[in-house]
Amino acid sequence: MSTTADLVIALKQELKAARLTYADLARAMGMAESSVKRMLAKGDMPLSRVDAICRALKLDFADLARRVADAQPLTVRLTLEQERAVVADRTLLLMAICVLSQWTLEQVVEAYRLTEAEGIRALVQLDRIGIIELRPGNRYRLKLSKTFRWRPHGPVMDYFREHAVLDYFGGGFDAAGEGLLLVHGSISSALAPAFFERLQRVAQDFAQQHLADQKLDEAALESYTLLLAMRRWELAAFTAMRR
């Protein structure tokens, strides 16, 4: 679907929300009602007409364009090429993880040894890759779905298996608010997906709490990493002992 067609659909929604008829719009634009109907039904018009309708609706064109962008389908999974681009640059990978946590550029620069220029350059790259839509003032809209996951055997997960897993599990997990649980059991294979859905809900709760707590003072916040996993697995040493 073209960008213009998307704008026309959004304009129709705005007309309905404002309770304006095609006749009302025709009068405001100095056009015949039949011409307005034909123009909107065709779904294709010059941007000058789109701008004229915005004026009739007392709607800023930039706001309309932003609403169209917000309505676009969100990405559930990146391609291999996109993930390779992310892990190819440590700064870019850092920024990708930060935008997934909805950090601002200011927060990233304050927390890490990055200049503002380096941060902006990384945001521009993430925009080109398709992870964010960069907006004025170095603000951005995340273009990834809430159900987004890195590819299970893709470049990003491979990077974390190689560089992060041993470091993560090397911790004591004995500080306040920390813990490591290892639970093994045999359950119905039909029930396993339901347990994993619960884990996903815990992850979503954690992510939502992160966003909600961003209004708190920095001194009240602490960085945590929640790692949830569930798979068919047995310690290799035990498997070797099976009959």
Average pLDDT score over residue span 116-134: 95
Q: Which pairs count as long-range contacts for 101-110, CB under 8 Å and 24+ apart, including other chains? A: 101/207, 101/210, 102/142, 102/210, 102/211, 102/214, 104/138, 104/139, 105/138
Q: What is the pLDDT of residue 235?
A: 84
Residue 157, amino acid: M
Alpha-carbon gap, residue 226 to 222, rounded angstroms: 13
pLDDT at position 101, please? 87
Taking the whole predicted model, whether its pTM rises above 0.85 is answered as no
3 pLDDT band, cuts 50/70/90, is: low
DSSP letter string, 103-171: --HHHHHHHSS--HHHHHHHHHHHHHHTSEEEEGGGEEEE-B-TT----TTSHHHHHHHHHTHHHHHTS
Is-contact 51 61, C-beta < 8 A?
Answer: yes
186-195, Cβ contacts within 8 angstroms, sequence gap of 24 or more: 192/230, 195/230
Give 37 or 146, the one with higher predicted confidence: 37
* Tokens, residue 180: 């490591």
Question: Is the pLDDT at 151 greater than 90, yes or no?
Answer: yes
Mean per-residue pLDDT, 226-240: 89
Q: Is 36:25 a contact under the CB 8 Å cutoff?
A: yes
Say yes or no to pLDDT of 88 above 90: yes
Q: Tell the residue number behind the tokens 């990077």, with chain if given.
A: 159
Are the C-beta atoms of 77 and 148 separated by less than 8 Å? yes
CA-to-CA distance for 173 and 165, rounded, in angstroms? 14
- Closest C-alpha to 120, from 102, 131, 135: 135
With pLDDT > 90 as the criterion, what percentage of the chain qualifies?
47
Q: Which of the listed ranges 59-63, 142-146, 211-215, 229-233 does the model predict with the highest average pLDDT?
A: 229-233
The pLDDT of residue 153 is above 80: yes
Tell me what pLDDT residue 4 has: 67
Write down the pLDDT at residue 181.
92
Whether the per-residue pLDDT at 126 is higher than 90: the answer is yes
Q: Would you say residue 137 has pLDDT above 90?
A: yes
Binning pLDDT at 50, 70 and 90, where does residue 1 land?
very low
Mean pLDDT of the chain: 88
Interval 49-77 mean pLDDT:
79
